[in-house]
Each structure stands twice: as C-alpha cells, then as structure tokens.
Amino acid sequence: MIVAANGNLTHGKNPRRLHVPAVVGNSTVVLEAWVFHRFCFPRQVLEGFAPAAECAVPPEEIRTLIEWVARRYTRSAFPDEFNRRIKKAHVGFKKVLTDNGAVISGVWLALNPFAELAPGEPYRIGVRVAMTVEDYGDAAKRDQANTVVNALELGFTDCEDIEVERADFVSEADFSLSDLRNLARFDAYDYLSNLDED
C-alpha cells in the first residue's frame, strides 16, 4: 500500500505499474501493482481461503486491473520513427500527467500515416483524452483535463515533423466504438522500455 496515487499510474495509463484505490477497514488506501512482480500458482491454492472482508476494491477498478494486465499483450506499438521524433516531449508529458493525470482515463492518437516515415515527412495526428463520466461532470476536473490536452498538443507540436490537427477531451460516454477502432491508445511511457525493472 502507498500513501497517494500517482496520476501517471492510474486508469492503466502506465504499462508497468498500476495504482488502484481500495477500502481497508474505514480508510481509503492505494494499492500498487507491478507487471514484473506477477507470478502464477495453482488455482487450488485459493480454495482454502475466503476473500478478505476488511479490504475491498471497487468493481470499476477491478475492471481497470483486468484491462491493464490484458494490455500487456494488446497495447499499441507506434512506428519507431514516430517514437524517435516525440522522445524529447516525454519529460513534459510525464510532468503534466503526474500533476493532472488522475482525472484522465486514457489518451488516444489518430496517427496518419501509421507507418515509418523518412526524415522531413510529417506525421499528422489527432489527440483525444478521455475522462470518466463522473470526472467529466466536475468543472474543476475538466479544467485539469484541458491542461493535459493543451500540454500534449504543445509537446507534440514542438516535435520535429509532427503536425497536430486536433486535440480535445471527452467523457467516456462520448468515446465511441469507432474511436476505439480508429485510434491507438498512447502510453507515454513505452519509451522507458524496461527501465522500471532496474
């Protein structure tokens, strides 16, 4: 358990670490999971145990945990050239998401073309940030989301041969199946590779 959630590590944004709230007794705490600390054991080992009554994880956070584990096998892989071009923007992305990321459930990109490009050929991108319906209903949290969108737009625009055509934030209620099909989830920390292991 840790004292406070890091906004970079909530809602499954980081592929290696995850922070989820839980209730232990009368207190809300934050649980931390590391993908490299997973291990398997026979299901029969659990047969003699009952769930801990004093610890509860909200159903939506259990869903986040399931999706986070699954994303290990399904996450987006952006072109190497695109990753090279945006490398210098990661420090700014990390800061804004650390400060405001708790209100963001995900960042998605429309990347055109989704291919390796030669130097001088621009990537044209759209940035879409999603928020939970509950957070979207809070004006202060929408302001935080707007801060994230502006920082992402500025960071991408400042990169060599990256043109931002659109940047916005939406409630998950307005994030469609078409968006899921046509956008790629952007995990700002894939560039760290296995540094977290160290």
CATH code of residue 149: 3.30.460
pLDDT, tens only, 2-34: 878 888 888 887 888 999 999 988 888 999 999
pLDDT, tens only, 135-188: 999 999 999 999 999 999 999 999 999 999 999 999 999 999 999 889 999 976
Give the total number of structural domains in the chain. Answer: 2
What does the pLDDT average to over 115-133? 96
Q: Give 171's contacts (C-beta < 8 A, 6+ positions apart).
A: 130, 131, 132, 133, 136
70 and 84, same domain (yes or no): no
- For 118, the token pair is 């030669």
Domain limit, last residue, from 55, 74, 93:
74
- For 88, the token pair is 């210098």
What residues form DSSP beta bridges with 124?
112, 163
- 29 is in which domain, residue-wise? 7-74
- For 57, the token pair is 């994880």
pLDDT, tens only, 74-114: 777 899 999 999 999 989 998 998 889 889 999 999 999 99
pTM of the predicted model over 0.85: no
